[in-house]
Amino acid sequence: MQETILGNSQEAVTASSSSSSHKPRLGFLGVGWIGRNRMEVIAKNGAAEVAYVSDTSPNNAEEAMKFAPNAQLLNSLESILEHQELDAVVIATPSAFHAEQSMLALEAGKAVFCQKPLGRNLEETKRVVETARRQNKLLGVDLSYRYTQAMQQVYQVVKSGELGQVYAVELVFHNAYGPDKAWFYEPKLSGGGCVIDLGVHLIDLALWSLGFPEVKQVNSHLYAKGKPISMAEGKVEDYATASIELKTGTHLQLSCSWNLPAGQEAIISATFYGTGGGVALKNINGSFYDFVAERYYGTKTEQLVSPPDEWSGRAGVAWAERLQKGEGFSEEAEEFVKVAEVLDKIYGR
Ligand X SMILES: NC(=O)c1ccc[n+]([C@@H]2O[C@H](COP(=O)([O-])OP(=O)(O)OC[C@H]3O[C@@H](n4cnc5c(N)ncnc54)[C@H](O)[C@@H]3O)[C@@H](O)[C@H]2O)c1
Q: Closest separation between CB of residue 78 and ligand X, Å?
A: 10
Our finding on whether 33 is near ligand X (CB under 6 A) is yes
Give 74 or 246: the residue with its C-beta nearer to ligand X: 74
Q: Closest separation between CB of residue 298 and ligand X, Å?
A: 34
Our finding on whether 94 is near ligand X (CB under 6 A) is yes
Q: Closest separation between CB of residue 200 and ligand X, Å?
A: 8
Q: Closest separation between CB of residue 104 and ligand X, Å?
A: 11
**Candidate ranges 92-100, 240-248, 261-269, 331-339; the one touching ligand X (CB under 6 A):** 92-100
Q: Closest separation between CB of residue 246 and ligand X, Å?
A: 24
Whole-number Cα distances in Å, 169 to 69, 203, 330, 345: 45, 10, 27, 18
Q: Which residue is nearest to ligand X (CB)?
A: 32
Give 163 or 267: the residue with its C-beta nearer to ligand X: 267
Selected from 16, 41, 90, 93, the binder of ligand X by CB under 6 A is 93
Three-state SS for 34-72 is HHHHHHHHHHHHCCCEEEEEECCCHHHHHHHHCCCCCCE
**Binding letters toward ligand X, positions 55-74, x by CB under 6 A:** xxx--x--------------
Q: DSSP character for 305?
A: E
Our finding on whether 219 is near ligand X (CB under 6 A) is no
**Binding letters toward ligand X, positions 180-209, x by CB under 6 A:** -x---------------x------------
# residues near ligand X by CB under 6 A: 23
Q: DSSP character for 101?
A: H
Task: Compute the C-alpha angle 270/214/141, nearest 5°.
Answer: 60
Our finding on whether 35 is near ligand X (CB under 6 A) is yes
Q: Closest separation between CB of residue 114 and ligand X, Å?
A: 8
Q: Closest separation between CB of residue 301 and ligand X, Å?
A: 27
Residues 6+ apart with CB under 8 A from 33: none
Give 55 or 344: the residue with its C-beta nearer to ligand X: 55
Selected from 7, 30, 192, 313, the binder of ligand X by CB under 6 A is 30
Rounded to whole angstroms, the Cα distance separating 245 from 168 reads 10
- Considering only residues 37 to 56 of the shown chain, the ones binding ligand X according to CB under 6 A are 54-56
Selected from 102, 115, 136, 153, the binder of ligand X by CB under 6 A is 115
Rounded to whole angstroms, the Cα distance separating 218 from 314 reads 31
Rounded to whole angstroms, the Cα distance separating 325 from 47 reads 11
Selected from 16, 131, 136, 144, the binder of ligand X by CB under 6 A is 144
Whole-number Cα distances in Å, 69 to 55, 63, 174: 16, 11, 37
Our finding on whether 272 is near ligand X (CB under 6 A) is no
Give 94 or 109: the residue with its C-beta nearer to ligand X: 94
Q: Closest separation between CB of residue 59 and ligand X, Å?
A: 8
Assign residue 348 a region (left: φ > 0; alpha: ψ between -120 and 50; beta: otherwise).
left
Q: Which residue in 313, 297, 336, 278 sits closest to 140, CA to CA?
A: 336
CA atoms within 13 A on the CB side of 297: 6
**Distance of alpha carbon 347 from its chain centroid, rounded?**
19
**Candidate ranges 88-96, 149-157, 248-256, 323-331; the one touching ligand X (CB under 6 A):** 88-96
Per-residue b or e along 70-86, where b marks 16 or more CB atoms closer than 10 Å to that residue's CB: ebeebeebeebbebeeb
- What SS3 class is residue 156? helix
Dihedral Cα 35, 37, 43, 47, nearest 10 deg: -80
Q: Closest separation between CB of residue 206 and ligand X, Å?
A: 16
Return residues touching ligand X (CB under 6 A): 29-35, 54-57, 60, 92-95, 97, 115-116, 142, 144, 181, 197
